[in-house]
Amino acid sequence: MHIPDGYLSPVTCAVTFAATVPFWYVSMRKLDRDLNGQHLPLVALVAAFSFVIMMFNLPIPGGTTAHAAGIGIAAVLLGPWAAVPAISVALLIQAIFFGDGGITAFGANCLNMAVVGPMVAAAVYALGTRGAAIGSRRRVIMAGLASYAGLNAAALLAAVEFGVQPLFFHDAAGAPLYAPYPLSVAVPAMALTHLTIAGAAEFIVTAGLVAWLQRSNPELLAPRRAPAAPERHLRLWAGIGALVVLCPLGLIAAGTAWGEWGAEDFTSEAGRAAMAGASGGVAPPAGLPGGFARLAELWSAPLPDYAPAFVQNAPLGYVLSALLGVALIVAGIGLSAGLRALTRRAG
C-alpha cells in the first residue's frame, strides 16, 4: 500500500498532499490541547509499532505480498487525530531512509494510511463500543472490525489513486504516463489483497492487542485517560522489541506488493510476468511509462528495502533496519516535543 515515486502524477501528488495538510495541522493542535505532551510517549510507542508491523510481509496468492499497518490499534489507543501524526511519522521514516513509499507520494500515503484509515477505524470502534465496559468482549471484536474497515478504506483509496492515472495522465497515443492499470484492474487487485489476508492480519493483531490490554493495562483503553508514567509502557516496548527480533519472518513472503514494482520490473520478462499474474492476467504496457521514468529515481534512500549495504546477512539487516527505524521515530518525536516545550516557554 506504500505508493512509490512514479506511480502518481505530480498533480495527484500535489492534490493529495494539499488534502492531508489540514489534517496534520488540526491533529497537532489537538495533540497540544487535548492530550498534551505527557501523552507523547504513547504516540511514539504507537508510531514505532506501526513501523515494525508493516515489515511483516504476508504472502498473497498470485505472487504478491501485503501487511498489517497498525491503523486500528492507533485509532483505538490514540483516537483518530493523534493517530494522524503517529502513523505519518512512521511513513516519513520509511520513505526517507528505507525507500518504502515515495517522497512525492508521501502526501497520498499519509492521506490513505494516516488519515482516512484511522478516521474510519475510530468511527467504527466508537459506534460499536458505545456503552460497552472497558473489559467487555464487544470492545475486542469491534477493535478488530474497526481495524479491518480502516485498512480496507485506506487500500480502496490507494487503488483509486492508482486507477485514475491512466484515465487522466497518458500520452498522445494513449499510453499511461504513471501507474499503468485502470480502476477495473487496480480496485479488484487491491481489494482481493486487503479484504482477505492483510485485513485478517490487521483484525487479529488489533483484537489480540486490545484483549491483552484489557487484562494488563486497561487504563489505556479508557476514552479520557490520564497520562501514564513511562514505566507503565515498559511491557509494550518489550513487545515491540520482540517484534523487532521476529521481523525477519516478514522476509519469508516472496514477491512485491501490488503497485510497488520497480522500474526493472516493467522491462524484465520475469517482472512483467509477475505484474500480469497479480493483475488478473492483464499485461503491463510494453515500455516503462514516461512519467514514471522521470519520477521513480527522484530519491535514493540510504537503506533501500531495509537492507543495509554493509550487512551481508538479510535477516540481520532487516533487524538492524527495524531498530534504526524505531530509534529514529523515538528521537524525532522526542525532539519535536522538546522544541515545542521550548517554544511555549519562550512565548
SS in 3 state form for 171-231?
CCCCCECCCCCCHHHHHHHHHHHHHHHHHHHHHHHHHHHHHHHHHHCHHHHCCCCCCCCHH
Dihedral pair phi/psi, residue 299, rounded to 5°: -130, 130
pLDDT at 107 over 70: yes
Reference 100, options 204, 250, 283, 238; nearest CA is 250
Per-residue pLDDT, averaged over 208-221, amounts to: 94
Per-residue pLDDT, averaged over 218-246, amounts to: 83
pLDDT at 342 over 90: no
Give the integer Cα–Cα distance in Å for 230 and 232: 5
pLDDT score at 224:
63
The confidence band for 141, taking pLDDT boundaries of 50, 70 and 90, is very high
pLDDT score at 209:
97
* Residue whose C-alpha cell reads 504507537 in the numeric block: 46
Name the grid cell of 221: 483503553
* Residue whose C-alpha cell reads 490520564 in the numeric block: 226
Helix axis angle, 199-216 relative to 137-163, nearest 10°? 150
Q: What is the 3-state secondary structure (H, E, C) of 311-340?
A: CCCHHHHHHHHHHHHHHHHHHHHHHHHHHH
DSSP element (H, E) containing 84: helix 71-98
The confidence band for 102, taking pLDDT boundaries of 50, 70 and 90, is very high
Reference 173, options 86, 275, 287; nearest CA is 287
299 CB neighbour count, 10 Å cutoff: 15
**pTM of the predicted structure, to 2 decimals:** 0.94
The model's pLDDT over 45-62, given as tens digits with 9 standing for 90+, comes to: 999 999 999 999 999 888
The CATH topology of domain 10-346 is Arp2/3 complex 21 kDa subunit ARPC3 (1.10.1760)
- Sign of the torsion formed by the C-alpha atoms of 136, 140, 143 and 148: negative
pLDDT score at 287:
87
Give the integer Cα–Cα distance in Å for 233 and 327: 16
The confidence band for 118, taking pLDDT boundaries of 50, 70 and 90, is very high
